[in-house]
A and B are shown apart, each in its own frame.
Chain A
């Protein structure tokens, strides 16, 4: 599915499968002068091609950690490395995000007035590259996700599962290294949820992508290579005690 994509040249080159793609050291996100600790001293390593599930109760800091990994938020403490490069040396977070990450959200966040195809193309607006090639790539992604007959439909005319598949295609358009998914099945029924997970897992394996997924659904985390438990902003080393 990684077709030619001339618009983006990666600033950090890929490494071998099994190497660390992400390394988080003592990551903290504190508010109110340290009184609120959304994330507090997280140390995690994610390897190339790995599927990691971040699980924990609501408010434990999973999404905040995901946002920090995806450069949507800045940690107030600690260090993160992407293939060995410290985040602190990234000069253009937007460009870095575009080159290396694909985002999938629980509530899809598709633009209601755009067709499925246009929604997939949206992340490429402002990029260099052939419009025709980008369109063909978006069409290829939607077809691969079984939406070849729904490309011209606006999100309002698609089912929840179809919308999330459009969002998956959108997350892949810039040929990312890591998919960051925040409760991607949270708004879907069990059948659609299973379908979306199958698709996501298939794409991951086929393309050697790394997936970091926030979820609190056991059936979702069960599909992950590794589950990272969180509680009160910290890693939960004994999750069994809290179940």
Chain B
């Protein structure tokens, strides 16, 4: 009989307590897996959308802590930017979170400059692109179309404006598939922000070196007060929603770690308290104190690893379930990586050792003669 068999047998002796402890750890780990994968997925989805559009640099106001960059008048900054070396195109973009009707959850609405390169990466599944800048039509992402039950030719209400669905499109990025797309002029009209955009997308001529791009960024910062030129990655990582979701995931990891360690700690402390006499017998039989420590830490580690493995499966299941909820569909796309799941298992291992260490030390320090008299 090996020590691990003995540890497993001890855990099996108290099935209800073992199951409750594993369940508590599993819930904590599931929350970590779900929130972290969603936070990463959210960031990855925005990154994918920005990359797919083919934008080299984005000019925006970065003072705002809003979920989306604050809107600004595009005309003057756009003209200025076009005068800078290597700037090939400057395209305005307006984003908002709007509700289509009282029943539907808010969704992203993008206004893109008509006939700009931003449209190039989209695939039209049905219908047609807007015929002009001012045509009162909307294009619906494939996920949004399913969520809203809209097809080409239907109408929908946005901020009191009735728009006809011109078509349904598909993008490489989930955030765009779950969105509504208008021409910039239409978006400015329905949001009552004429001439305004959230960001200006810059496409360079392809001849700019890294140092010239850096020079361009510096020039924007110095000659256009209040504006910054950043990469799409920088825009995504500075996005308030991304930052909040990452902060929530970090907080969940911290809370789940504390709760998990405390649960393991409490379980093992109760367990060794109940088994004081048995530990005394083991010591009397010649078990070394380090073997007692290995036993207790082994039991706590088995509990935590079992909780961790179940928690990972539960977390993946929860995330997949959330992705299919109407409220969340088209907004979240979880990202699971092997490294992340291994890190979660590592966290479980840490919880097991951390939670079991003090009870193990306490058990190993028992005086055999006193432990044998314990009632």
Q: Using a Cβ cutoff of 8 Å, how many contacts connect chains A and B?
A: 71
Assess whether A58 is interfacial by the CB under 8 Å rule.
no
Question: Which of B2, B277, B283 interacts with A125 by CB under 8 Å?
Answer: B2
Chain A residues with CB under 8 Å of B6's CB are 122, 125
Interface residues of A in 64-104 (CB under 8 A from B): 64, 67, 70, 72-73, 92, 94-95, 97-99, 101, 103
Chain B residues with CB under 8 Å of A51's CB are none
B287, A70: Cβ atoms closer than 8 Å: no
Assess whether B291 is interfacial by the CB under 8 Å rule.
yes
- Docked CA distance A174–B13 (Å): 27
Given A111-B278, A113-B12, A122-B282, the answer on whether A94 and B1 have CB atoms closer than 8 Å is no
Assess whether B203 is interfacial by the CB under 8 Å rule.
no
Assess whether B368 is interfacial by the CB under 8 Å rule.
yes
A122, B369: Cβ atoms closer than 8 Å: no
- Docked CA distance A121–B287 (Å): 12
The CB with the most chain B CB atoms within 10 A, among A97, A112, A174, is that of A97
Chain A 136-158: CB-based contact to B (< 8 A → 1; otherwise 0): 00000000000000000000000
A109, B281: Cβ atoms closer than 8 Å: yes
B288, A105: Cβ atoms closer than 8 Å: no
B291, A72: Cβ atoms closer than 8 Å: no
Assess whether B289 is interfacial by the CB under 8 Å rule.
yes
Chain A residues with CB under 8 Å of B12's CB are 113
A67, B1: Cβ atoms closer than 8 Å: no
Question: Which of B2, B10, B282, B372 interacts with A105 by CB under 8 Å?
Answer: B372
5 inter-chain pairs at a CB distance below 8 angstroms, sorted by A residue, are A67-B368, A94-B289, A114-B1, A125-B2, A125-B287
Known pairs A97-B284, A109-B372, A122-B282. 12 more at Cβ < 8 A? A67-B369, A72-B368, A99-B286, A105-B372, A113-B12, A114-B1, A121-B1, A122-B1, A122-B6, A123-B285, A126-B3, A126-B288
Shortest B106–chain A CB gap in Å is: 57
Assess whether B9 is interfacial by the CB under 8 Å rule.
yes
Chain B residues with CB under 8 Å of A101's CB are 286
Assess whether A165 is interfacial by the CB under 8 Å rule.
no
Q: Point out residues on B near A: beta carbons under 8 Å.
A: 1-3, 6, 9-10, 12-13, 277-278, 281-289, 291, 294, 367-369, 372
A170, B369: Cβ atoms closer than 8 Å: no
Question: Which of A94, A97, A105, A125 interacts with B3 by CB under 8 Å?
Answer: A125
Chain B residues with CB under 8 Å of A105's CB are 281, 372
- Docked CA distance A97–B288 (Å): 10
Question: Which of A72, A99, A112 interacts with B284 by CB under 8 Å?
Answer: A72
The CB with the most chain B CB atoms within 10 A, among A95, A105, A126, is that of A126
B284, A70: Cβ atoms closer than 8 Å: yes
- Docked CA distance A67–B369 (Å): 7
With an 8 Å Cβ cutoff, the count of chain A residues facing the other chain is 28
Question: Which of B10, B13, B287 interacts with A126 by CB under 8 Å?
Answer: B287
Chain B residues with CB under 8 Å of A162's CB are none
A174, B284: Cβ atoms closer than 8 Å: no
Chain B interface helix/strand/loop/mixed: helix
Chain A residues with CB under 8 Å of B283's CB are 72, 94
Chain B residues with CB under 8 Å of A92's CB are 288
- Docked CA distance A150–B182 (Å): 82
- Docked CA distance A112–B9 (Å): 11
The CB with the most chain B CB atoms within 10 A, among A101, A114, A131, A170, is that of A114
A174, B9: Cβ atoms closer than 8 Å: no
Q: Point out residues on A near B: beta carbons under 8 Å.
A: 64, 67, 70, 72-73, 92, 94-95, 97-99, 101, 103, 105, 109, 111-114, 118, 121-123, 125-126, 131, 170, 174
B287, A123: Cβ atoms closer than 8 Å: yes
The CB with the most chain B CB atoms within 10 A, among A105, A118, A125, A131, is that of A125
Chain B residues with CB under 8 Å of A97's CB are 284-286
A122, B285: Cβ atoms closer than 8 Å: yes
B285, A103: Cβ atoms closer than 8 Å: yes
Chain A residues with CB under 8 Å of B13's CB are 112-113
The CB with the most chain B CB atoms within 10 A, among A94, A97, A105, A111, is that of A94
- Docked CA distance A46–B264 (Å): 47
Chain B residues with CB under 8 Å of A103's CB are 284-285
Q: Chain B residue with minimal CB distance to A182? A: B372
Chain A residues with CB under 8 Å of B284's CB are 70, 72, 97, 103
Chain A residues with CB under 8 Å of B291's CB are 125-126
Chain B residues with CB under 8 Å of A67's CB are 368-369
The CB with the most chain A CB atoms within 10 A, among B13, B282, B285, B288, is that of B285
- Docked CA distance A115–B10 (Å): 13
Given A118-B1, A126-B291, the answer on whether A98 and B9 have CB atoms closer than 8 Å is no
Chain A residues with CB under 8 Å of B369's CB are 64, 67, 72-73
- Docked CA distance A70–B368 (Å): 10
Chain A residues with CB under 8 Å of B285's CB are 97-98, 103, 122-123, 170
- Docked CA distance A123–B291 (Å): 11
Closest 10 CB pairs of A and B: A98-B286, A126-B291, A123-B285, A73-B369, A72-B368, A94-B288, A72-B369, A67-B369, A109-B281, A97-B286
A73, B367: Cβ atoms closer than 8 Å: yes
Chain B residues with CB under 8 Å of A122's CB are 1, 6, 282, 285
Shortest B216–chain A CB gap in Å is: 68
Q: Chain A residue with minimal CB distance to B6? A: A125
- Docked CA distance A183–B6 (Å): 28
- Docked CA distance A23–B237 (Å): 77
Chain A residues with CB under 8 Å of B372's CB are 72, 105, 109
